[in-house]
């Protein structure tokens, strides 16, 4: 799977992406993302949990940052793509655990990723 640098893809959303440990595109690597969401600068630290080159999939588990420290108990983001009718389609999947039913579903994060 070829990884494009996210700052080049969407500089108005991601303003820094730093490899904290490991190597780019390797399971177990830790990445710190600096991004703007809902008009607020945020930081999230993720570990690459899975890479499946056969199915063009990568799974990131958020281990630090507001999303898991203040909002959700757990949060994973999966990105995959598939070819359909001669076009490539990106698919974002989010797995999350809400601490209680008062915490909203992450629809603003879904909207955020859909405009990537």
Query: Residue 18: inside a domain, yes or no?
Result: yes
Query: Residue 56: inside a domain, yes or no?
Result: yes
Query: Residue 107: inside a domain, yes or no?
Result: yes
88: domain CATH number is 3.30.530.20
112: buried, middle or exposed (CB in 10 Å: 19+, 13-18, 0-12)? Answer: middle
Query: Residue 1: inside a domain, yes or no?
Result: no
Prediction pTM value: 0.85
* Number of independent structural domains in the chain: 1
Digit-coded pLDDT (tens) for 52-110: 999 999 999 999 999 999 999 999 999 999 989 999 888 999 999 999 999 999 998 88
Beta carbons of 14 and 35 less than 8 angstroms apart:
yes
Question: What per-residue confidence (pLDDT) applies to 1?
Answer: 41
pLDDT band at 8 (very low <50, low <70, confident <90, very high): low
Structure tokens at 51: 């890479």
The range of the structural domain enclosing residue 82 comes to 6-114
């Amino acid at each position: 799977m070829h990884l494009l640098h996210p700052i080049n893809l969407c500089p108005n959303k991601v303003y820094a992406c730093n490899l904290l440990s490991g190597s780019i595109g390797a399971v177990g690597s830790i990445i710190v993302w600096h991004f703007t969401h809902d008009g607020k600068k945020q930081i999230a630290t993720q570990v690459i949990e899975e890479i499946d080159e056969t199915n063009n999939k990568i799974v990131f588990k958020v281990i630090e940052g507001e999303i898991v420290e203040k909002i959700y108990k757990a949060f994973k983001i999966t990105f995959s793509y598939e070819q359909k009718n001669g076009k490539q389609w990106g698919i974002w999947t989010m797995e999350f655990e809400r601490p209680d039913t008062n915490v909203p579903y992450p629809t603003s994060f879904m909207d955020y990723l859909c405009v990537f």
